[in-house]
Structure 1
Amino acid sequence: MGYELRFGGSVDLGDPAMDAKATSALLVEAFGDIGLETLAGRHPAWVTIARNFLVEIGPPPVRPDRAVLQIKAYSAREDLLQILQKLARSGYTIALDEYDGSLIDNVEELMGLCSIVRVDVSAVSAEDLPRVLRVPKMQGAMLVATEVGDHAAFERCKALGFTYFQGEYFAQPRIFRHRGVATAGLGSLRRLSELTAGDISFEDLERIISSDIGLSLKLLRYVNSAFFALPRTVGSVREALAMLGVRTVRRWATVMVISSIPDVPDELVALGLRRAHMCEILAGSALPEERETLFTIGLFSVADALLNAPMADVLDSLPFTEEIQTALLRREGPKGELLAAVAAYERGEFPTLPTTDSSPSLAGAYRSALAWADEASRAVA
């Protein structure tokens, strides 16, 4: 439904006293210099707006249909209520953020202007949630559960009447009572095992892909898409291998298999692609083999959610080195620590990594991975 825009460092756009000029500079950079298409694609950007910004400057530099304006839940003075009324009449969608049921002045009037109420469900006990939701439900607000950590929390929130959900739950596996990979994913796992096995030869890779008609057709359609911009149409797996090389074809055949797993959300595949490319970029000037390993680690970091099984069970069936397994299972070792930093950055936690003058930044790598993964996802679909 949208992507939340978060700012790093010590900036808190939710602070009622946040300087309007600082807020303005950040929003102009986000919406102007970077651009909404890069940040949120076809979805609206959800952005927290400081009270002082609205009072002193007005609405942000973005069309009403391209943003959801988030206002932190605190007592609103009359000047802010008047501005919110004007924004609502102008077509802006306004969300009340971090609502926890605390008594605040003008809460009903404020909620009358906010069509969306966001609740951090990790900060409210399951027993207390019905009380917290009483007023928003009376006001007819759309409920958004944030910080949803797993599928159990997701099911609880859904039963309580939440409409939209934000958090780690969709990137976590739904663990069932039996161990092992669900039946629907076994064929995909076998194919992934073949594709990721050591130094695979040209002939072996051609045999593996050609023996799966669906995979062959999907791979050829992808290779001939605008993403690769090849000078001529590729008509066979052998021709693709000859033109692109074993490493490239194996990479994209693996992505094809992952994207074909039944009942997998598109956003989960996109998340794996973003992590994969971001890890690869942060490898810097490393050897191609090292970059390929980091791409694989990023891509398979969502394998447990893709296959709805514990990561240890998934890795039991894949011929990965101990280094890759350690990175994926425990986020240990240099590659595991890099993956942990990538995952933290995408959550808006803004970690730091050891850098040199020539090292790519996390921010730059994320922005590049965002654009690259969007393009790759469109071609994969």
Structure 2
Amino acid sequence: MKVITVDELKKKIRNNEDIDDIDVVTTATCGIMSGTMGVFHIPFNTIFKRAKRIFLNDIEGKVGVCPNEYLGKVDALFYGEVGFLFKDLVKGKEVEAKAIDDNNNIHKVRITINDLNTAKMIGTRMAFKNYMAFTNLGDPMDTIFNRFKLKKGEVTFSGCGEINPLENMVIKDEKDIIGKRALLNGADALILGFGTRSSIERPNIMISANMKEMDSYYLGGFYTSGGIEIYNTVAIAINVKEHREALMKLDKDIALPLVNIFGRDIIDKTNYSEVWEDVDLRPKINIDRCKNCKTCLAETYCPTEAIKKKEDKIIVSEDCFGCGVCKICPYGVFEIKLGSVCGIPVVCRQSDRKRALDLAKELKRRIINEAKKSGDN
């Protein structure tokens, strides 16, 4: 069995190479995926009848439907501004759980993810079959699609283009995807079916995986002017014979509509080659241009908290998303080409091809190893 990653496949297609000997292609996408929730079973050191409110690191969740009466345990759902919280949990960091019971007594305990009997992530709308680009025709506006207020003459976009799993699949019915395996943030995952706001023309998936098996590199928080969002990474293996036609598409073949942030009216249309060809996936750092500002703007406003300024050094961690917000530095310490949409420059990228391709490569490795174990070469 021959397995290659999606970027290896697209390179072959661009070079007009034969792909008949390829059996499986590993595809992936990474980006802001708002419809993400965690389902947890949280133990406390005290016994109480039942909780009416529940918190993790002061982020409030929703008490689950199971009452767990007089057990001192709480089933809970957490969603919304949970990106940094979920990353800390997956990293194994200790967090504070707090429950308020029916009598308004407060119960606190320090826990890690290993203390949770259940820690499942459910993505209610993930791996959207690409998305759109946003601009603003009115006054500056707070939005989840930009780190700052979105102004006239600016564009942000989401979608990984030609490497997106659903862009490389032929889906005629929800039954085509239910029960398929995937990787969600590095953990073995199960596709539950279509997600919310999904359609045959613009599908997305509902997917679940055990957070205890996840790799913290593939998920995290992302600050926007509209609040904290969460990014995730999804990889899916695709059978070439079943989906050959879809796999042949390149960025230039995939539409990228430009819409007004208010109302989502389509202003113009282009394709994903404008934002993914001849661009940088990570910034270049020109340390010689640094003026050692008292407040480093790039560090202060980095959406993923990836930039740390220490004396005469700038440290960019693996949390870098390649969003391009660091270009805010007035002295050009950070350089990154982000492309444009219909002639309007991109100021913030909310999808990360580097992470996606890293997970596609990991999925390829796992498939090959499984094949070797089973004797299927």
Do they fold alike, i.e. is TM over 0.5?
Answer: no
Q: What TM-score do the two structures reach when normalised by structure 1?
A: 0.22
Return the structure number with greater relative CO, CA threshold 8 A, min gap 6: 2
Which is greater in Rg?
Answer: 1
Q: What TM-score do the two structures reach when normalised by structure 2?
A: 0.22
Q: Which has the higher strand share?
A: 2
